[in-house]
Structure 1
Amino acid sequence: MRPRTRIAHLDPTTRTRIRFNSTTALPKTRSRGAKWARRGALTGVAVAGLWAYDNQFNASAVTRSLRTAYIGLLCTLDYKINFSPSKADQIEALHERVANRLKWVIDTNQGLYLKLGQALGLQAALLPKPYREAFGHVFDRAPAVSHDEVVGVFQKDLSLSPLDIFETFSEEPLASASIAQVHKATLKSDKGGEGQKGKVVAVKVQKPAIEKQMEWDLFSYRSLMWACEKLFDMPMYFVAKYVSSQMRLETSFKNEANNARRCAELLAQTPELKDDVYVPRVYGEAEGCRESDRIMVMEWVDGCRLNDRTQLEKWNLDLRETMDLAISTMSAMTFSWGFIHCDPHPGNILVRPHPTKKGKPQIILIDHGLYISLPREFREDYCTLWRSLFVLDVPKIETIARKWGIALDANMFASAILLRPFQVNKNKKQKEKIPEKSQYEQQVELKERMKKMLENEQLIPRELIFLTRCQRMMQANNQLLGSPSSRVNLTARWASIGYTNSLTGSRSIKSVGMSTWLKDRLDAFVFRVTLGIVDLVFWFTLQKQRFLPKEKGGWEDKLQKQFEAMAKEEFGIEIDDTVFLG
């Protein structure tokens, strides 16, 4: 009431001025509110417009990246706040929350995220159990795109529809993966060359969204790896650039076609394999089929998956011969060619009865998108390492480990390369019993050990990422067939061939001297004896499997269990890599 009393004592002119100012102040307030409302509405319209454009014309590439950034930030904050000694009993729940968020991003974004999820899934063997469970699904079949979208890829890349090129073309895909799907078709009379009329072919078509999403997805992947390294002080980003470049190559079907042709040429130069391993023909410009980065035409070849034991037995194909061929093929690629198919899961290695050798298997290699070439020096070191493991040349093993920037106990390094327990140094001291630690303490200790192991990340050969993956996949393939093949010995023999081929110059007494010449002979003898002993143990294991039905698990299963136990005891790593068995 006081303000009114005071105004009443003022002169009329002053009262009028005050009333005028007080009434004119209200429109200003309403004007400011309206301005903010207009700004909010315009911002909303702009965001909605950008979202609609991104969704309609950009395959939601930006939206996917923002989704990834949001989940990445959420997971980071969750770890920063809740990964602490005071919450040690809640760490399992923390891992489960983060793993489920990452799984959600992969399932929602699809496309190239499935490939990146597979890379994470393969590394999940070293991660806590919730991650292994979350990433186990990424090897399953991916959803297909509609026939209209397939026709759109043909129109954009070739200015033609599928029926302009093929006599018939299946509207429904026969298989669908993360970045492409496969349709069955028949060639027209003027395609494929003489005698190819009506030839059945497989047409691989890239999903149209991949082209727009790829760079955004790879940028998101690299950003997450960089952020994780900075936030958690773990060497993770050093592989991101290499993996990104390989992923980029995998989306180019011209690159895949060239890989397939080169693989066929190298097989033709390998007498041990050339009749028993087959690469389906790729139809390109020379055969009258136009080539594209998103469309590839290949010969159709019928066969079963490498791990289809039931079908192999129906065809009366020997499981050991079949698996020996598959392992020999991958070993020849690694140690002799230096040109490696890096996705050897069972769906990419088919088997059929040999067309000309009755009762014998023939391996068919498909999906040649992901290959790596090994630099000569690295391939020579890798061959030398495998051979050194069998002749127990400890100084050479440790020299190569240091050269590669890996600080690791020689026993664990050898076992990691062979994927089987292996002792090059006998530890005679009895180990002290270590008191049980909390999950928090275990994972902090593991982090420190991993940092120490990767002491110089710049020296670590990036090729090891894919080589280890290939070795583990072949081990898993062997396990799925009941471990019929002596994988380690077969791989070692090919390593020895690669080692011998890498030697330059004469190895005669006159050239290298008596001491080196004698060492060569001794190493060769030890190598043969070691392989013989392992082969004998392997044979006894097979007999136990055959005559003792209660004996569960094959050779590879036993090696894997021993390796897991050694990893946990020696290095504090709990390994469970059933993701490789898909």
Structure 2
Amino acid sequence: MKEQYRIPVSKVQRASKFVQTGAKIGGNYLKHYGRKILNPDISRESLDEENAGDIYESLSELKGSALKVAQMLSMDKNALPMAYQDKFAMSQYSAPPLSYPLVVKTFKDQLGRSPEDIFDTFSRKAVNAASIGQVHKASLDGKELAVKIQYPGVADSISSDLRIVRPIASAMFKIKSAELDQYLGEVEAKLIEETDYDLELRRSMEITDLCRHLEGIAFPNYFPELSSKRILVMDWMDGLHMKEWLKNNPDQEERNRIGQVLWDFYDYQIHELKQLHADPHPGNFLITPDNLLGVLDFGCVKIIPEDFYNSYFKLMGPEVLDNSYDLEGLFDELGFLSPEDSVSERKFFMKLFREMIELLGRPFRHDSFDFGDDTYFQQIYQVGERMSRMKEVRNSKTARGNKHGLYINRTYFGLYNLLNELKATVNIHSFARNKA
């Protein structure tokens, strides 16, 4: 993949790149409607593919928060057309890497020395490049290491990037203004944390230490003495990423075993630690040579407030679907309903959200659940598509839900999709159920 020798850093440079991209998209729309005049039956797919390609190319050059938002949207299969999902998913592992001179500059700025002065060996080319940083392979005293290096300017451009992204996301993806404000506010706070590798180092060491007793899982060790605010050094972990591992056609027993390890890992973090690895995309997991689930990258960690936790997980219990349960009161508590709702709005959203929690909480209401059941996921996507077309949802001026639910919902959605890729059946012996 072609290396990148500079990243637009100033607000003017980055805003100009967005303007150029907007002009390209405008041209794509003109071409599409020109073709449609000649052929009224032409579909929107080619337009989506052209727009997705142009947007991804620009975001890949800019890196940082804008590319991270694209990655997050690609995980939500209800948010984007397929062309955007496929292209934006590339930001998880294959963004254009930074050139070696820029890597050296980051090392000298952060640690006062070049990589060759610190390590016995250091790969000049990145082995992985994503939205916030890229990874190089190194060795020191006979130990193989992964060295994560943050892109220059990423931390300083978060707020200005998100301000530019906001109207584009609102117009292109039909996201309501109130919801976008709530969404991007929480995203901004998390991205500021993700660019602080000192914080990531502390959290990585803390969470991995607390989870090492879990069966079937492996974590890297971290090296504070070699790390800094923009450089993070850990053990190199050999293994196959999940998609590669699945190409080897593992049997159902192995798929279920890995799926159970994943479920137990998240179940323990959420219900015992009240903090979790909130970035469950396939690039953050691998299957080691001794068939353990390797967990990488604790950059995105969500701390769950106790009061939100207590209300949110009431939604997963079977009793909430009983007519005698005060579900309306719980929806008020979690912000699904608003004091400003009319009687008809309240009735509409009560019915809609009841359907959603029945569907999304269904695994919790079983002793075991088959995540390989594609009909279950088709139901989820159909509800999402139906919601996006409802005028009551589109016209609502109120942001529905709680900001703390954003990363919890995203985590469960990512986890469900990983388990679906595995076609795994897992035992739902959750800590939440045991506490109920």
Q: What TM-score do you get using the length of structure 1 for normalisation?
A: 0.58
Pair 1:302–1:135, CA change in 2 (3 A) = closer
Match of 2:417 in 1: 476
User: What amino acid is aligned across from residue 276 of structure 1 in structure 2?
Assistant: G
Per the alignment, do residues 90 and 265 of structure 1 end up closer, same or farther by CA in structure 2, a change over 3 Å counting? farther
1:403 aligns with 2:339: no
Q: Secondary structure at the match of 2:146?
A: strand
Alignment-derived partner of residue 253 in structure 1: 197
Number of the residue aligned with 2:345: none
Quote the residue 2:308 is aligned against.
378
CA separation of 1:333 and 1:74: change in aligned 2, threshold 3 A: same
Distance in 1 (CA, whole Å) between partners of 2:199 and 2:259 is 28
What is the Cα deviation at residue 392 of structure 1? 4.5
Query: 2:234 — aligned with what?
Result: 298
Give the drift of 1:160: 0.6
Counterpart of 2:246 (choices 290, 294, 309) is: 309
Matched, 1:63 2:13: yes
Task: Tell me the amino acid that sits aligned with residue 299 of structure 2.
Answer: G
Q: Which has the higher helix share?
A: 1
Q: 1:413 aligns with which of 339, 346, 356?
A: 356
Determine the C-alpha separation between the residues in 2 that align with 1:276 and 1:144.
Answer: 32
Other-structure match for 2:210: 266
**Structure 1 CA distance, aligned partners of 2:280 and 2:18?**
29
Instruction: Judge conservation of contact 1:186–1:200 (CA < 8 Å) in 2.
Output: yes
Q: Distance in 1 between matches of 2:363 and 2:319?
A: 12
Q: Which amino acid aligns with 1:292?
A: S
- Residues 499-539 of structure 1 show CA distances to partners (whole Å, capped at 9, x for unaligned) of 34xxxxxxxxxxxxxxxxxxxxxxxxxxxxxxxxxxxxxxx
Counterpart-to-counterpart distance in 1, 2:23 and 2:178: 17
Paired residues of 2:217 and 2:295 also in contact (CA < 8 A): yes
Query: Is the partner of 2:297 in helix, strand or coil?
Result: coil
Q: Percent identity, aligned pairs only?
A: 22
Asked whether the 8 Å contact 2:313–2:432 carries over to 1, the reply is yes
Say yes or no: does 1:150 pair with 2:120: no
In 1, the alpha carbon distance for the partners of 2:262 and 2:175 equals 42
Corresponding residue of 2:116: 163
Check conservation: 2:133, 2:151, Cα contact below 8 A. yes
Cα distance change of structure 1 residues 130 and 170 upon mapping to structure 2, 3 Å threshold: closer
CA distance in 2, matches of 1:301, 1:161: 24
Residue 495 of structure 1 is matched in structure 2 by 432
Counterpart check, 1:180 vs 2:123: no
Report the counterpart of residue 202 of structure 1 in structure 2.
146
Aligned match for 1:450, one of 371, 376, 393: 393
Report the Cα offset of residue 367 of structure 1. 0.8
Give the match for residue 278 of structure 1.
218
- Contact 2:278–2:408 (CA<8 Å) still a contact in 1? yes
What corresponds to 2:73 in structure 1?
120
Match of 1:464 in 2: 405
Report the secondary structure of 2:292's partner residue: strand
1:9-408 equivalent positions in 2, closer than 5 A: 59=9, 61-69=11-19, 97=47, 100-101=50-51, 103-110=53-60, 111-112=63-64, 113-127=66-80, 131-132=84-85, 135=88, 137-139=90-92, 141-187=94-140, 197-211=141-155, 213-222=157-166, 224=168, 235-268=179-212, 273=214, 275-284=215-224, 289-307=225-243, 308-310=245-247, 313=250, 318-352=254-288, 361-388=291-318, 392=322, 395-406=325-336, 407-408=349-350
Q: CA deviation at 1:326?
A: 0.8
Normalised TM-score (structure 2):
0.75
**1:297 counterpart SS class:** strand
- Which amino acid counterpart does residue 139 of structure 2 have in structure 1? T
Q: How far apart are 1:153 and its partner, in Å?
A: 0.7
Larger Rg: 1
Per-residue deviation, residues 1-32 of structure 1 (Å, max 9, x unmatched): xxxxxxxxxxxxxxxxxxxxxxxxxxxxxxxx
Equivalent-residue separation in structure 2 for 1:97 and 1:69 (angstroms): 19
Per-residue displacement from partner, 1:442-492 (whole Å, max 9, x unpaired)? 99982523247x6742x72222222222222222222222x2323xx51x6
| Range with bigger deviation, 70-79 or 135-144 | 70-79
1:342 Cα deviation from its structure 2 partner: 1.2
Alpha-carbon distance between aligned partners in 1 of 2:401 and 2:361, rounded to the nearest angstrom = 18
Partner Cα distance (1:366, 1:385) in 2: 30
CA-CA distance at 1:215 after TM superposition: 4.1
CA contact (8 A) 2:193 2:199 kept: yes
Closer, same or farther: CA 443–411 of 1 in aligned 2, 3 Å: closer
- Describe the SS at the equivalent of 1:318: helix
1:242 to partner: Cα distance:
1.0
Amino acid aligned to 2:191: M
Mapping 1:532-551, distance limit 5 Å: none
Mark the CA change 1:415 to 1:127 in structure 2 (over 3 Å): closer, same or farther.
Answer: farther
Do the aligned residues in 2 keep the contact of 1:304 with 1:352 (CA within 8 Å)?
yes
Cα displacement string for residues 272-317 of structure 1 (whole angstroms, at most 9, x for unaligned residues):
x1x5323211101xxxx24312111101222222341355849x98
Aligned-residue CA RMSD (Å): 4.0
What is the SS of the residue equivalent to 1:395? coil
Q: Contact 1:124–1:131 (CA<8 Å) still a contact in 2?
A: no
Distance change in 2, residues 1:495/1:144 (3 Å): same
Give, as a single letter, the amino acid of the residue that structure 2 aligns with 1:417: L
Give how far 1:226 is off. 7.1
CA distance in 2 between counterparts of 1:164 and 1:134 reads: 38
Whether the 8 Å CA contact 2:242–2:282 is kept in 1: the answer is: yes
Deviation at 1:236, TM superposition (A): 2.4
Instruction: Please name the residue that 1:567 is paired with.
Output: none
Q: Post-superposition shift, 1:71?
A: 5.2
CA contact (8 A) 2:317 2:364 kept: no
Question: Secondary structure of 1:185's match?
Answer: strand
Do the aligned residues in 2 keep the contact of 1:226 with 1:237 (CA within 8 Å)? no
Determine the structure 2 residue equivalent to 1:24: none
What is the Cα deviation at residue 233 of structure 1? 6.3
Count how many residue pairs are aligned between Structure 1 and Structure 2: 390
Note if contact 1:202-1:300 (Cα within 8 Å) is conserved in structure 2.
Answer: yes
